[in-house]
Amino acid sequence: MSDDRGFFARLFGRKRERSSTPAPLPEPAVLRNEDDTWLEQLVVACGDGKRLDEVSSTDTLTHIDNLWLGGHERLATEWLEKLIALPYASEAAVATLRARLVDRLDERRELERGLVHLEALTTSDSHAVRAHYLLAEHHRKQGDDVLALRHYEAVLARDLDYPNVRARVARLRAARGLAAPSAGETVAGADVVGIAGGARYRLVRELGRGATGVVYLARDAELERDVAVKLLHPHLAAQQQQEALGRFFHEARVMASLRHPNVVAVLDLEEKARRIVLELAAGGTLREVLRDRGPRPLRRALERQGQLLTALSAAHKRGIIHRDIKPGNLMFRRDADAPGVELMLGDFGVAHLPDASGAIGADAARSRRPAEAVGTLAYMSPEQRRGEPPRPADDLWATAVVLYEMLTGRHPWTREVLLGGARTADDFRLPPATLAAAPPALAAAVQAYLDRLGSIDPDARPSTEQALAEVIALRADAISAGVLA
């Protein structure tokens, strides 16, 4: 009988076991330690709408780090990806998890896997600088100098002193045959924003950023005063972004044309330098005031509402709809509680401008094509969120949200209602204690005013002029009743 065993089996004398089916390969051991089990329980609970506040908590990140440090790096990144994908996680929680994930992927030399997360992080104020830097590094290593330069310049738009970035921008521009940017041409490398005849505006520090540009505190060397300098985002300054460039300066011209004490003043602009110089709001924003000092007294809130509506009245008469009324865009020249300091409306970056005929109002707005739903979600009217044509009533709705915040110190809705809940007639119902110090008749009048401004039906909202006249009358009644300012 022939031996059909293989050569090495015959050589070492081992007999081959015959089997009707091949033996299965051993399965890898399934990890079920304390950290893995804890994370699995968390995901299950979140799927049921529970423990959502723990998605990016210190405990959660500690369990993931334990897996990573224990040698289970791939599993740790997979858990981060699962948590990011949870449908009910907050934007802040997701951003925290994305940031941790891309850092881990970068350590594993697997950043390609995290590019989609990096792109998402570029819209997060807390993580944009790091995200742009990692994207720039990735594209540089891939040989894509154009994208690398765009992301490096985006880093410098947020942090002029980010390590090594200025040198890399200079090298990339030289490699592409581009001249070094003149001071002020982009934010990249610009300590000084120059104009013809010398350096006039010296950048000091970043104050904030919007959809189109970054705003810096700067020193006007010629007039020896502090100003705010707004520079177009570098990635919007490319030739193919001429529309964004045009809108950037159209915004400035709109603000300058209003010439109103309750609108931030435009002091200077230069298209070549892609720069707008604005008066400095040294008193900060209404958002900062509410955050640091709490709700405003009734008389002061009505006073600020009147100043806001005065600015909107001037804009609406010109056919301009702001579309982004919120406490962060309402500013003060000096301390908000100092005598005589008025509120100023700024940032017309997403404002809807009149058509060639200057038409405005409900009939003209309805005749236009549906508009893009732009603005800040928490202050957008229901019809604005649906992308309906812009109309002044959109701004009136936003003033109702702002007035509610001034009186209560908080937003009218929970996050769940804001994201998907239906609007009701009681959206702007003030807590009973809010107007407890006011006479009952005045309290009822203020509540009725707020309800009309925030009516679900835009046609039921008052006109800007009516809303202004009503709030002036309410403030007069508050003064007559001896309500404290």
Catalytic residue annotation: 324
Q: Give CA 418 to chain center in angstroms.
A: 16
Cα–Cα nearest to 274, from 189, 343, 214, 205: 214
Distance CA 276, CA 215 (A): 9
Residues 289 and 252: beta-carbon distance below 8 Å: no
The tokens describing 306, both together, are 């009147």
**For residue 237, what pLDDT is reported?**
53
| Cα–Cα distance list, 443 to 2, 3, 107, 446, 448 (Å) | 106, 103, 59, 5, 9
Cα–Cα nearest to 283, from 210, 344, 215: 344
Distance CA 37, CA 294 (A): 43
Residues 315 and 321: beta-carbon distance below 8 Å: yes
Determine the 3-state secondary structure of 84 from DSSP: helix
| DSSP codes of every residue in 261-286 | TTBPPEEEEETTTTEEEE---TT-BH
Question: Given the structure tokens 């907050």, which residue do they identify?
Answer: 90
- Whether the model pTM is above 0.85: no
Cα–Cα nearest to 234, from 140, 154, 351: 154
Spell out the residues 6+ positions from residue 60 whose beta carbon is closer than 8 angstroms to its own.
Answer: 39, 42, 54, 83
Strand ordering across the sheet containing 192-195: 192-195, 198-209, 213-220, 225-232, 275-278, 266-270
Cα–Cα nearest to 218, from 256, 187, 257, 181: 187
**For residue 4, what pLDDT is reported?**
52
Distance CA 410, CA 115 (A): 36
Residues 51 and 89: beta-carbon distance below 8 Å: no
H or E segment to which residue 41 belongs: helix 34-47
Q: What is the pLDDT of residues 229-243, one digit of tens each?
A: 988 766 655 554 666
**For residue 183, what pLDDT is reported?**
35
Residues 73 and 108: beta-carbon distance below 8 Å: yes
The tokens describing 364, both together, are 């003209």
Distance CA 267, CA 258 (A): 13
Handedness of CA 106, 108, 112, 115 (dihedral sign): negative
Q: What is the pLDDT of residues 407-442, one digit of tens each?
A: 999 999 877 777 766 667 678 999 989 999 899 999
**For residue 24, what pLDDT is reported?**
47
Cα–Cα nearest to 405, from 285, 287, 322: 287
Distance CA 56, CA 43 (A): 12
Gyration radius of the chain over CA positions: 29
**For residue 373, what pLDDT is reported?**
55
**What angle do helix axes 73-84 and 91-107 make, rounded to 10 degrees?**
160
Cα–Cα nearest to 323, from 257, 389, 417: 389
H or E segment to which residue 269 belongs: strand 266-270
**For residue 17, what pLDDT is reported?**
44
Beta-carbon count within 10 A of 473 CB: 13
The tokens describing 128, both together, are 């944009």
| DSSP codes of every residue in 188-233 | TT-SEEEETTEEEEEEEEEEEE-SSEEEEEEEETTTTEEEEEEEE-
Render each residue's pLDDT in the chain as its tens digit; 485 residues: 445 555 444 444 444 444 444 554 443 444 568 888 899 898 888 878 888 889 899 999 999 999 998 888 999 999 999 999 887 788 889 999 999 999 999 898 888 888 989 988 888 878 888 898 999 999 888 888 888 888 887 787 667 678 888 888 888 877 776 544 433 333 333 333 333 334 688 888 888 776 667 888 888 888 888 899 988 766 655 554 666 667 777 777 878 888 899 999 988 888 777 788 999 998 999 999 999 999 999 999 999 999 999 999 999 998 999 999 999 999 999 999 988 899 999 888 778 877 544 444 433 333 344 445 566 888 999 998 888 999 999 999 999 999 999 999 999 987 777 776 666 767 899 998 999 989 999 999 999 999 999 999 999 999 999 999 999 999 999 999 988 76
Distance CA 402, CA 400 (A): 5
All structural domains of the chain, each given as residue ranges with its CATH number in brackets, are: 34-175 (1.25.40.10), 192-278 (3.30.200.20), 286-480 (1.10.510.10)
Q: Give CA 328 to chain center in angstroms.
A: 11
Determine the 3-state secondary structure of 270 from DSSP: strand
Cα–Cα nearest to 428, from 410, 401, 468, 459: 401
**For residue 258, what pLDDT is reported?**
84
